[in-house]
Amino acid sequence: MAIENPSFIQSEPRGSCLVVTILEQQMRNFEKVTRIKLEILSAVQEFLPKVVVLDLSRVNFVGSVGFLAFLAIRREPSVENVVLCNLDPNVHKLFSISKLILEGSSASAPLQVSESVEKAVAMQGRIADEKA
């Protein structure tokens, strides 16, 4: 028996973070990207995280519709940061060229980057401790 509506993400709350793994390889198809966005937004609304850590280890291409999905997550009221992890070099380049990620210490961008999920969660934990 086949699953009629398989999930395109896996999500797991970790402290003030919500870690989301995107299971698709390409984020270029409008219908799939819309489902991915809606699944992530549903998880965000359920857990109300301050930080959404997106594991993109399986993603090898992001089109403009994918960028819009990530920006929609950033606009959620509870979300202070969106951190992209495990970026393919070509995907990193796409985000960098479009100025959606930080490059350099004085740069400003809507999304952040971390090498791994573990580093992103640890970094957010340190930031939360500093604010306390």
pTM for the complete prediction? 0.89
Q: How far apart are CA 16 and CA 8, in angstroms?
A: 23
Question: What does the pLDDT read at residue 124?
Answer: 80
Q: How far apart are CA 45 and CA 58, in angstroms?
A: 24
CATH topology of domain 9-131: Transcription Regulator spoIIAA (3.30.750)
**Residue 111 CB partners (closer than 8 Å, separation 6+):** 70, 74, 82, 83, 84, 95, 100, 101, 102
Tell me if 12 sits within 8 A of 46, measured CB to CB: no
Question: What does the pLDDT read at residue 27?
Answer: 96
Q: Which helix (H) or strand (E) holds 91?
A: helix 89-97
Question: What does the pLDDT read at residue 17?
Answer: 95
**Residue 124 CB partners (closer than 8 Å, separation 6+):** 15, 16, 17, 50, 51, 53, 81, 83
CB neighbourhood size of 94 (10 A): 19
Question: What does the pLDDT read at residue 6?
Answer: 77
Question: What does the pLDDT read at residue 126?
Answer: 67
In the beta sheet, which residues pair with residue 112?
83
Residue ranges per structural domain of the chain: 9-131
Query: Both tokens of residue 18?
Result: 């919500």
Question: What does the pLDDT read at residue 107?
Answer: 61
Q: How far apart are CA 132 and CA 111, in angstroms?
A: 23
Instruction: Using a pLDDT cut of 70, give the percent of the chain over it.
Output: 87
User: pLDDT by residue for the chain (132 residues), tens digit each?
Assistant: 454 577 999 999 998 999 999 999 999 999 999 999 999 999 999 999 999 999 999 999 999 999 999 999 999 999 999 999 999 999 999 999 999 997 665 468 899 999 999 999 998 876 655 665
